[in-house]
Amino acid sequence: MREVFLFIYFNNDIAVHIRCGDILFGHGDYHFMTLNYYLFCFDQILNQSKHDVQLQRPLSVHFLSQLSSAGAHTSADSEHVDKCSRLVHALVFKLGERYNSSDAKNKSKLQFFIKNDDIVTDFASMMYAPHLICGTSTFCLHAALSNTHHKNVFVPDIGPWLYLNSHTRKITQNGVLPPTHHLVDVRKNNWFLRSTEVAAKRWNTDENFEQLIQPFLEILSSIYDSVCVYYEITNSSNKSMK
């Protein structure tokens, strides 16, 4: 299987995991990462890769989520694949405007693919991707930790990983994670929507779903106007990047 995925992925291709499904109805530990989080991660990858000859061809971005019964982890996921599909397609459309439109400020060569595979294929896709962007998902985190050949892995600093949340500074100073794995401070930058809030406001219903998509895709000025906190996992110290 490794040879298959190494053949599919080129040097700078990106896999993006979007947690959806069950968290539409609220979860204390799992939340929705908003557009700003993805923009920040994409910009870091593109800035690092801009001189790479591989960018002479369109860079491929593979989106993974709970979009079919095959890719669903639970029965709750299966019941809400249509809503998750709407959310993922809305995100991809917005990213296309940002990076691929003729008047885009930061025009890049990106090809977007919304995957609809089974759980095993999704895990392998994340495991072998050169660049991986995780949501609040232990499924994604386990794939990230299963392969040390990633160029970059981005993980939000909120989620079901209590140790990461409580000991971020120790982790960044002692190199607990591989040096390619980065914790992004989505809490301080407000780059997430609480799933409990989504459930409480009934944004998860068909008639109110657009009210979820709107803040999910809102671009906050902080991503352009202020320093975005970004923890790089090294053996030295954490640092901020703009």
> Domain extents for the chain?
2-160+181-224
The residue behind tokens 């320093």 is 227
pLDDT of residue 115: 87
Q: Does the pLDDT of residue 196 top 50, yes or no?
A: yes
Q: Tell me the pLDDT tens digit for each residue of 13-64.
A: 899 999 887 778 877 778 889 999 999 999 988 888 776 655 556 788 999 9
pLDDT of residue 162: 55
Residue scoring higher pLDDT (12 or 60): 60
Count of alpha carbons within 13 Å of 143, Cβ hemisphere only? Answer: 29
Q: Could you please state the CATH topology (level 3) that the domain comprising 2-160+181-224 is classified under.
A: Rossmann fold (3.40.50)
Residue scoring higher pLDDT (193 or 175): 193
**Which two three-digit tokens encode residue 25?**
């109805």
Alpha carbon distance 201, 129 (integer Å): 36
pLDDT of residue 81: 78
- Helices 138-145 and 119-128: crossing angle in degrees, nearest 10, is 50
pLDDT of residue 238: 40
Which residues pair with residue 14 across a beta bridge?
61, 131
Q: Does the pLDDT of residue 73 top 80, yes or no?
A: no
Alpha carbon distance 119, 55 (integer Å): 29
Q: How confident is the model at residue 76 (pLDDT cuts 50, 70, 90)?
A: low
Alpha carbon distance 199, 210 (integer Å): 14
